[in-house]
Amino acid sequence: MQGADIYLNFNGNSLEAFTFYKSIFGGEFLLLQRYKDMPGGDKMSPENQEKIIHVSLRLTPHTVLMATDGLGERGEINFGNNYHICLQADNEKEADVLFQSLSKDGKIEMPMNKTFWGAYFGMCQDKFGVMWMINYTIPQNS
């Protein structure tokens, strides 16, 4: 495994929160994307189009703080469902083993699948209620 990152969920104020975190930790956003920038984003309400689908800020050489604005499809974001621990796998096989192990007797939020952003990715909640994201970034042919 390459590492573990922290993924936070917000009720529409992730940019405000990350601007605050950036003022404390320094650096620049590694990525800042709005829902309007994703495939199908043009079909969303103008309010949701402007929300953040992904923002990331490096905290240490091996740790990244990331976030998204929830759109309400999973309900109100509250303490307890406002984070994921994101594991960065070395390959798809390792990602599958991690996902299957963590989701056993838990709940699958998003099965492992290849995504439009170039990753093999899935989300689950383990049997203790801890939220996990498993990610393997697929190498891009140069």
For residues 38-57, average pLDDT: 93
pLDDT at 97 (0 to 100):
94
56 and 13 both lie in a single domain: yes
Domain match, 66 and 89 both: no
Scan for tokens 């190498």, then name that residue: 139
- CATH number of the domain that 41 lies in? 3.30.720.100
Q: Give the list of residues 6+ apart from residue 107 with CB closer than 8 angstroms, or none.
A: 124, 125
How far apart are the C-alpha atoms of 104 and 91, rounded to whole Å?
A: 20
pTM above 0.75, yes or no: no
pLDDT for 41 beyond 80 = yes
Q: Is residue 2 part of a domain?
A: no
The residue among 26, 53, 71 that closes a domain is: 71
CATH of the domain at 141: 3.10.180.10
Tell me: do 67 and 92 sit in the same domain: no
Decide if 118 contacts 39 (C-beta within 8 A): no
Judged against a pLDDT cut of 90, whether residue 101 lies above it is answered with: yes
Residue 111, domain member (yes or no)? yes
The residue range of the domain holding 27 is 8-71
Residue 96 lies in a domain: yes
Pairing of strands 131-137, 83-88: parallel
| Sequence-separated (6 or more) residues with CB below 8 Å from residue 5 | 63, 64, 65, 66, 85, 86, 88
Residue 142 has pLDDT above 60, yes or no: no
Residues 115 and 63 grouped into a single domain:
no
Q: What is the domain count for the chain?
A: 2
